[in-house]
């Protein structure tokens, strides 16, 4: 998203719904930026260590708040549960106008064993 003229990134939990991405948010900077006039970008990555494969998908498009009662009720069937406490009562849908992605094999060099970060080592 763009916040005060600069790109910014926000962590979200999301669900894919009929070719769109839906996420929940509290009121604030993220919601205001998403619902502004500037399109948003969304990226998700994943990997399957057992298969040695990874993937990345990027979509760009417009975000809008679910407004009709039917849309909000339908969104309740999505597995969108806030990871933190607080009210996250705004449901936002990103309608992609452009979607790109790729799949690739994880190189042996990237699969070396590295100690994982402990929760106390991560910034809040």
Residue 111 belongs to a domain: no
Reported as a single tens digit per residue, the pLDDT across 94-106 is: 999 999 999 999 8
What mean pLDDT value characterizes the chain? 85
Residue 91 lies in a domain: yes
Residue 60 counted as domain residue: yes
- What's the domain count of the chain? 1
Any domain includes 115: no
Q: Is the pLDDT of residue 77 over 70?
A: yes
What pLDDT digit, counting tens, does each position of 15-33 carry?
A: 998 899 999 999 999 999 9
Q: What is the pLDDT of residues 78-93, one digit of tens each?
A: 888 777 778 888 899 9
How far apart, in Å, do the first and last CA atoms of the chain sit?
Answer: 21
Contact by Cβ (8 Å): 33, 94: no
Q: Is residue 114 part of a domain?
A: no
The answer to whether position 87 is within a domain reads: yes
Task: Compute the average pLDDT of residues 42-50.
Answer: 91
> Which CATH number do you get for residue 48?
2.30.110.10
53 is a domain residue: yes
Note down the domain range covering 43. 2-104
Model pLDDT, residue 109 = 73
- Residues whose CB is less than 8 angstroms from the CB of residue 35 and which lie 6 or more positions away in sequence, other chains included: 63, 64, 65, 92
Question: 120 lies in a domain?
Answer: no
Predicted pLDDT at 98: 97
């Amino acid at each position: 998203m763009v916040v005060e003229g600069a790109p910014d990134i926000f962590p979200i939990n999301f669900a894919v719904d009929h070719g769109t991405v839906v996420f929940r948010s509290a009121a604030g900077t993220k919601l205001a930026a998403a619902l502004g006039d500037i399109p948003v970008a969304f990226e998700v990555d994943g990997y399957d260590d057992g298969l040695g494969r990874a993937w990345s998908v990027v979509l760009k498009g417009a975000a809008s708040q679910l407004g009709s009662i039917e849309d909000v009720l339908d969104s309740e069937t999505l597995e969108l549960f806030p990871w933190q406490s607080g009210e996250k009562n705004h449901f936002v849908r990103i309608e992609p106008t452009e979607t790109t992605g790729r799949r690739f094999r994880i190189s042996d060099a990237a699969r070396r064993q590295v100690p994982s970060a402990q929760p106390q080592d991560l910034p809040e």
